[in-house]
Amino acid sequence: MRRRLLILSLFAAILTTSARQLSPSLQLEGALSIYRATTFLLENQRQNGSWQDSPELTALATNALQVSAKLDEPKIAAAIAVAIAFLKSNVPQENDWQRAIVARPFLIEAKRDLPHKRFAEKLLETLAKNPNNFPPEALPWIIDASLQANFTTFAFPQDQLDKLPGPIRFSIEFTIRPAPTKDQLQNARNATRLLNWSTTPLEQTYWAGRALHAWDVAFAPANDHWQADILNALLMRQAGSGAWNAETQYETAKNTAIAILTEIICLQ
């Protein structure tokens, strides 16, 4: 009975007006999927608060728990608290771009605790000194965290942006200046909608979902049911354990955290 109430509470918490484009059954399936995935993460958190003793992975898992746990579930709150403590004591080196990922959960916690915001800002300040020394895959994470922190947007050369997969580049184009024209964004959107969500890497799916949602906000929903397409594909790829399996435990936990973040986008 308690499990059913938690799922229904989660369902009510994450559902917003635009998600009502989804059928009620798919909305409920999405909420159940998130519940199972968060349960998987909780069961695989180590006693020191981490996932696999990795700051990057711990930050992603914590971020997933934060955005999905809008109900006051004590077990999730406790997991987040011990994960935050681990991250504070295990900060990546100053030249490590993954500091941007570690900053994400602190930016969410900053709404309740101002020192957390300052901690996140310090992580980003060190990255701002060498914005051109990071691999292309770092760009979306750094830009996203800097925007959340109202931090100076990092300026990356166009040739670095061009190396990114289309869905990830599309998500960044809403934030760069000068911004692409509506026609250019429309072309990127059309290309993104041609992706096969059943085979697209989960990280690309996440950024694609972010971009499609940004399009809906900036212009108008196209009513082409991208939320249902992505959510259905994610549900098909989820294992019985609640995870999105990969070859290693690390990648399985990472996939699961990113899939939760993507499902939340689909239900927004």
Q: For 255-266, what is each residue's pLDDT tens digit?
A: 999 999 999 999
Give every CB contact of residue 7 below 8 A, 6+ residues apart in sequence. 28, 31, 32, 35
Question: Using 50, 70 and 90 to split pLDDT, how confident is the model at 90?
Answer: very high
Q: Using an 8 Å Cβ cutoff, are 185 and 215 in contact?
A: yes
Q: What is the mean pLDDT of residues 45-58?
A: 98
For the chain, what's the residue count? Answer: 268
Cα distance between residue 216 and residue 218, in whole Å? 6
At residue 14, does pLDDT exceed 70?
A: no
Q: What percentage of the chain carries pLDDT values higher than 70?
A: 88
Query: Greater confidence, 49 or 68?
Result: 49
pLDDT attached to residue 224: 86
Cα distance between residue 262 and residue 123, in whole Å? 25
pTM score of the predicted model: 0.91
- Tell me, what DSSP letter sits at residue 242? S
